[in-house]
Homo-oligomer: A and B are copies of this chain.
Amino acid sequence: MTPLDTLADIVGPKNLLRDPGDIAPYAVDWRGTWRGEPEAVLRPGSTAEVAEAVRRCAALGLAIVPAGGRTGLSGAAVPAANGPPSVVLSLERLNRIRDLDARDFSLVAEAGCVVQAVQQAAAEAGRLFPIQWGAQGTAQIGGMLSTNAGGIRTLRWGNARELVLGLEVVLPDGRVLDDLRRVRKDNSGYALRHLFIGGEGTLGIITAAALRLVPALRRIESAFVAVPSPDAALSLYGRIMECGAEVVGFELCARFCLQMAERHGVGLRMPLPLDSPWYVMVEIAAAHPSVPLREMLEETLAAALEGGEALDAVIAESEAQRAMIWKIREDYPDCARREGPAVGTDTAVPVSAVPAFVNTAERELKARWPEGRMAAIGHAGDGNIHLSLLAPAGWTDRAAWAERAGAMEALVNGIAVSLGGSFSAEHGIGQSKRHAMATHKNPVALDVMRSIKDALDPEGRMNPGKVLP
C-alpha cells in the first residue's frame, strides 16, 4: 500500500481510480489535443470529502486538477504533460440539485450536475436556466462556472458569471468557503466569487452554486436573414435591439460556414439559398404568449429589407423550422471539422467593431495564406466571432496545416486586441492559450493575477500549468 492509497480512506476504494484503463479517459481532453497522466483519479461524493481530499493531497505533495464534464476546449481539466505529480479530482458524484425555489427564481446545484439536468429541473418548475451551448448535455455546472461559459444566449442573460448568486468553494488549503446564498444584493466586502468563476480551478474548487433562474419563455420567434456585409448585420442588430422584444440570440455566419454545414450536416436544410455572403440568425422571445413577437420581427425585417441591411429573410413558420435554424448553428462545429484541417480562434471585440475585425482579418489572412479558407461565425450580438482558417479543399494532413497556418492565431488575436477586444472570449485559457496570455495580456493585469494566485494558493497546488503563463 502506497501513501496515495490512503486517499481511499476519504472517497472509498471504488472512487480512487488507479488502474490505467480507468484513468485513461481523464488523461486526455475530448478532442485528443491535451494529454497528461495523473497519479490517480479521485471521485469524492460530498463537499466534505473534497475538502478532506485537498488536505490529504497537500500532505502527500500532490497537485490537484479539478475536472467536470471535460468538454472544455483549452485543456484546463487535463494534467499538464510536464507538470508535477497530480491527481484529477472529478466532481461527477456531486450531482444533486440541492434546492429549487420557483418563487425565488433560483436553484442550488452541486458542481457535478450536468447543465442539461439543471435546465430540465428549471423547466419543470416553469423557469428557464438561460445558458445554452452545444456541450450542455455533458458539461457540468462546476466546469461551466470555472470557465465562465458563454454560448448563444449571453446577449440577453450574460455569461455563466452573471447567473451566479452564490458559491461554495473548497480553497487550496482545504477550508470551505461557504457562500452559497441566494441573495441578489450583497455589498459586504470583496466579491470573492468572481475570482473562482472563470478561475479554471487554479484558485479553488467550486463544489456547488446558487444559480439565477428566469421566467420560462412562452413564445419565441426566429429568423434567418441574408445580409450583404457584417456592417449591415450590425445595423440589423441595432434595429432588433430596439424592436421591443427580448433579443435572445444574434448569430452572424459567413456563407462558407453554411456551405460546410450543408455539405457535411446530417438532415440540415438551409432556410434560404446561399447566394448572399453573410447570414444572421436572430431569435426574440417573451415570457408570455401575448407579446406580439411575430409582428415585431416582421416589422423589423421589413424595415431592414427596405434599408438594404437585409437582402432576404425568412421567419420560422413552425417549431420545426425554428429548430432547424438553430440546429444548423449547433451542428456547425462538427461540420467544419469534417471539412478538413483548421486553425481556430476565440476572439471578441466590441460589438460595433465586428465589421472592422472581420474585414481586417479577411484581408490579412488572404494576403498571408491565399490558399486558406476563412470561416467566420459567432455570437455577433456579443462581439464574439470565431474565426478559423481551413486548409484548401482536399488537404488531409492536420499537423502540416497546423504547422503552416498556426501563426494565424496570433495574427487574429492581435487584430482583436488592437480593436480593444479579447483573445479568449469564452473558452478560457487552460493550457491552450497560455502563450497568448504571455503575448497579449496587459502585464500589470498579469502581475495582479499572480499576486492573487500566490495569496490564495502559495504552494501552487491547484491546477498547475494552467491560465497564468
Q: A interface vs B, CB < 8 Å? A: 101-106, 126, 147-148, 150, 154, 158-159, 161-162, 171, 175-179, 181-192, 194-195, 197-199, 203, 215-216, 218-219, 234, 237-238, 241-246, 286-292, 295-296, 299, 348-353, 379, 382-384, 420-429, 433, 436-437, 440-442, 444-449, 451-452, 454-456, 467-468
Contacts and interface: CB of A to CB of B under 8 A. Distances in A.
Given A183-B422, A187-B424, A350-B106, A449 B244 contact: no
Contacts of A106: 350-351
A420 B181 contact: yes
Given A183-B348, A187-B428, 12 more contacts: A103-B237, A159-B185, A177-B445, A179-B442, A184-B351, A185-B422, A192-B448, A195-B195, A216-B242, A245-B291, A246-B246, A290-B299
A352 B103 contact: yes
A446 B238 contact: no
Contacts of A427: 187
Contact of A185 (B171, B234, B348): B348
A169 B80 CA distance: 34
Contact of A187 (B101, B198, B244, B449): B198
B184 A384 contact: yes
Contacts of A423: 188
A82 to B, nearest CB: 21
A64 to B, nearest CB: 18
Contacts of A454: 455
Contact of A383 (B183, B194, B198, B421): B183
B187 A426 contact: yes
A122 B432 CA distance: 39
A353 to B, nearest CB: 8
A353 B182 CA distance: 10
Contacts of A147: 187
B185 A426 contact: yes
A154 B162 CA distance: 13
Contacts of A349: 183
Nearest to A291: B244
A189 B101 contact: no
Contact of A446 (B176, B183, B189, B444): B189
A440 B197 CA distance: 24
A437 B350 CA distance: 38
Contact of A456 (B158, B424, B451): B451
Contacts of A150: 185, 187
B290 A445 contact: no
B437 A181 contact: no
B437 A184 contact: no
A178 B444 CA distance: 8
B291 A189 contact: no
A447 B177 CA distance: 10
A158 to B, nearest CB: 8
A242 B449 contact: no
A110 to B, nearest CB: 17
A384 to B, nearest CB: 5
B451 A154 contact: no
17 contacts: A101-B350, A105-B351, A106-B351, A161-B191, A177-B445, A177-B448, A184-B348, A185-B348, A185-B384, A185-B422, A186-B424, A187-B428, A188-B429, A188-B436, A189-B445, A190-B203, A243-B288
A291 B101 CA distance: 30
A241 B194 CA distance: 27
Contacts of A299: 290
Nearest to A184: B382
A302 B457 CA distance: 57
A444 to B, nearest CB: 5
Contacts of A181: 350, 420-422
A190 B449 contact: yes
Contacts of A234: 103
Contact of A424 (B188, B237, B422): B188
A349 B428 CA distance: 33
B421 A171 contact: no
A190 B350 CA distance: 20
